[in-house]
Chain A
Amino acid sequence: MTGAIWNLLLALAWVILGGEFTGINLVVGLIFGYVTLVLIEPQVPALKGYPGRIPRILMFIGFFIKELILANLRVAFDILTPPWHMQPGVIAMPLKAETELEITMVANLISLTPGTLSLDVSDDKRVLYIHAMFLDNEEELRQSLQEMESRALALFR
């Protein structure tokens, strides 16, 4: 968190000192600020772990957009063609996420990818019940859900 604030402050300093108030200049400032923080990271304990986090977030956004488009096309195909290929069902997924914030994030991400909709969390917060549209290959579905969960959790920890 301190890393993000420092990055933003450096970018603002770049914009103000440069005297050119445009969005592109702010982005340039953010990039230079990030490079600076990467260089001084070994000497400042408060910045520990910040440089690795930004590429991980960008990778996660890319991975998520890929999943979103692929799954959307699959649902679209099933809506457009007359026979139903789908095999809907409710499955229970054991959660690795522990705090309420983490569970909320994971459930939201699962709801956002087409084909899966998070229904409810069990009272002891250990299992998430998910309504899935395509259960023809349940193992594969569970694996991709778990990959998504561990990738999302890696952003917080």
Chain B
Amino acid sequence: MIEVIKGTLIIVGALFMLLASLGILRLPDLLTRMHATTKAAALGVILVMLAVAMHFAEVGVVARAFAIITFILMTAPVAAHVIGRAGYFVGSKLWSGTVKDELKPNYDPLTHELKSGLETEANAARQPKHTDKP
């Protein structure tokens, strides 16, 4: 029984990694590629690590497997965010099928200012937050 679960976890994990690499080849622009690589690959690593933890079933190995899962979950989204953001602001073209872009009108490429678009009518009624700079 446990053999079947381990095998399934490893195969499904490897399939997700294969999907991630297919996604890099097939998807049309940088941002959609970032979608495919980070999440599918992270899920693949998580599944394989769960299988490893089940196979060895020792405290040391299980602790390390869960540490790997935690660090993947902490670092993968940060890397995706930084690469995607840098690519967007450097000016990589979005795919022609992109439906809408609410960031572009709020961004000033000269001063690198990014407005929220809520300034005009909301600022009058806005409560000050403790995170505001004086």
Partners in one complex: yes
Q: Which residues of A contact B77 (CB under 8 A)?
A: 107-109, 111-112, 118
Chain B contacts to A: CB under 8 angstroms: 16, 19, 22-23, 26-29, 31-32, 34-36, 38-40, 42-43, 59, 62-63, 73-74, 76-78, 80-81, 84-85, 88, 94-95, 97-104, 106, 113-119, 129-131
Question: Of B19, B99, B119, which one neighbours A79 at CB under 8 angstroms?
Answer: B19
CA distance A79 to B16 in the complex (A): 11
Number of interface residues of A (CB under 8 A): 45
Closest chain A CB from B125 CB (angstroms): 13
Residues of chain A at the chain B interface (Cβ within 8 Å):
22-23, 68-69, 71-72, 75-76, 79-80, 84, 86-92, 94, 98-100, 107-109, 111-115, 117-127, 129, 131, 133, 135
Asked whether B39 lies within 8 Å of A90 as measured between CB atoms, the reply is no
B16, B19, B81, B97: the one within 8 Å of A117 (CB): B81
Contacts of A115 in B (CB 8 A): 35
Q: Is the interface of B mostly helix, strand, loop or mixed?
A: helix
| Contacts A/B (CB < 8 Å), 7 sampled | A75-B39, A84-B28, A88-B31, A90-B103, A91-B102, A115-B35, A122-B116
Chain A residues lying within 8 Å of B78, measured Cβ to Cβ, are 108, 111
B16/A22 in contact, CB under 8 A: no
Q: Which residue of B lies closest to A104 (CB)?
A: B78
Complex Cα distance, B117 from A126, in Å, reads 9
**Cβ–Cβ < 8 Å partners of B81 in chain A:** 107-108, 111, 117-119
B27 in complex: contacting residue of A79, A109, A118, CB < 8 Å? A79
